[in-house]
Structure 1
């Protein structure tokens, strides 16, 4: 944030850094179920409400809080403004550094919580491949849900629908006999298609704005 480094590059770089540190700290050994705290295991247990796991309610609660933060707070509106036009945002009195740092901090905290949920769901952690490839699945899910890679547009509900759709596709592909390598190719194709569609929509919007101004 302070050095104005490209966020996506820093994210991927620190991803490999932390994965390597995890590999070193765990001595490349799988952390078995006996080492997972009982409180963490209880998160994935079924609730008395239609047998739905508690982890689902936690996820929906986090989504609801995120929706309230993004849509009904001044900081949430600043996040959208910053994503739409980071150059013009300071002219509107937005502290770019503070808002960016807040967003990255929340993203990191939620990623850590997702890791806890993952360990609760499966009951073990394998440092060699845990979470491997999730970064591309996340990108694919959010762009399917209508989030712009360039920032400034998107919604929590759209993201949830994107996650649900991608989850259904991920569950269906193995049943169709499609190998994991092909699934990765599909995720990549989805991301590229979303980028092309987003670019086309933005260009169409610019053309429409230009025509209204000239008229």
Structure 2
């Protein structure tokens, strides 16, 4: 009996690393299909592509943990990118562009937070509506269709490397550390987990639910703006379709594959980052395999669906194992 119990504990602990195991499996399979997957250049490219997805995924994660969802984030990236482009056009101030872009992201979050927290509307409906509003604003601002970006400092941040590692990866790492501090070391994270687990119990314990909902969606909005700035730093031309639903789905999928529950109350930064790496690896592998741009979303979507199914099976197995362990 003790051996059976120990085996269940061991398996349950292994399942805690399910996202990482999934990443390793994908890497092994893709490497077997094409040796170019294992090159240093390709691995750096995976990190570069994962950086903005990871930041946007943190925003998606925190909203999901609270029991909500933010469907506006993808087009929020487009709006923030266009705002940054407009501010940087004709040698505009970089600091001014960064500050304005972050403000726009925070305002998007404030807008969503007002309707979800104050008016008690469903986050799905609220953010679906704000997605359309944001898309309209983006097209209005990008009257010329595309905006040329020439700021040399921004390009240095987005394209150059330090100690052999792309600057954009260093920036993402710093932002992730800050986010980890906020989520793990402050009341912001604890209260967010509490709302997702049981909003009523959290309210009874004295947590100001409305204010916390504001903070949750503002956090998501700021992550949206930061992801937009990271994308803008990598390109020479900003267009209204720099974000959109594809980027949104990448971010949400990264969070869910990384262990964030769509029902709230559960999620981790480490898992979400691994999820972002999985999404980036899939995208890069499809490109190396020569999948056409028109078919890329289809194949990536199929792989992501299979990954989500596998992830669900693993987590259900973990729940069963935990129940058996407790009853043993």
TM-score (norm 2): 0.56
- 1:83 is paired with a residue whose SS is helix
What do the CA deviations read for 1:191-214 (whole angstroms, capped 9, x no partner)? 863795598479759x949x86xx
Judge which range, 130-139 or 171-180, deviates more.
Answer: 171-180
What stretches of structure 2 of length at least 5 have no aligned partner? 1-116
Q: 1:197 to 1:94 in 2, by over 3 A?
A: farther
1:48 corresponds in structure 2 to: 162
Deviations 1:132-191 (A, max 9, x none): 211111111111111111111111111111101111011112333442241353266258
- Which residue of 170, 193, 198 maps to 2:309? 193
Task: Tell me, yes or no, if the aligned pair for 1:43 and 1:120 is still in contact at 8 Å.
Answer: yes
Which residue pairs with 2:215 in the alignment?
A: 102
| Alignment correspondent of 2:236 | 123
Cα RMSD, aligned residues only: 2.8
What TM-score, normalized to structure 1? 0.83
The answer as to 2:267 corresponding to 1:154 is yes
Structure-1 separation of matches of 2:159 and 2:243? 21
Moved more, 7-16 or 190-199: 190-199
Q: Which has the higher helix share?
A: 2
* Equivalence for 1:27: 143
Structure 1 unaligned blocks of 5 or more: none
Structure 1 window deviating more from structure 2 (170-179 vs 147-156): it is 170-179
Task: State whether residues 70 and 76 of structure 1, in contact with CA within 8 Å, keep that contact through their aligned partners in structure 2.
Answer: yes
- Relative contact order higher in (CA < 8 Å, ≥ 6 apart): 2
Q: How many residues align?
A: 207
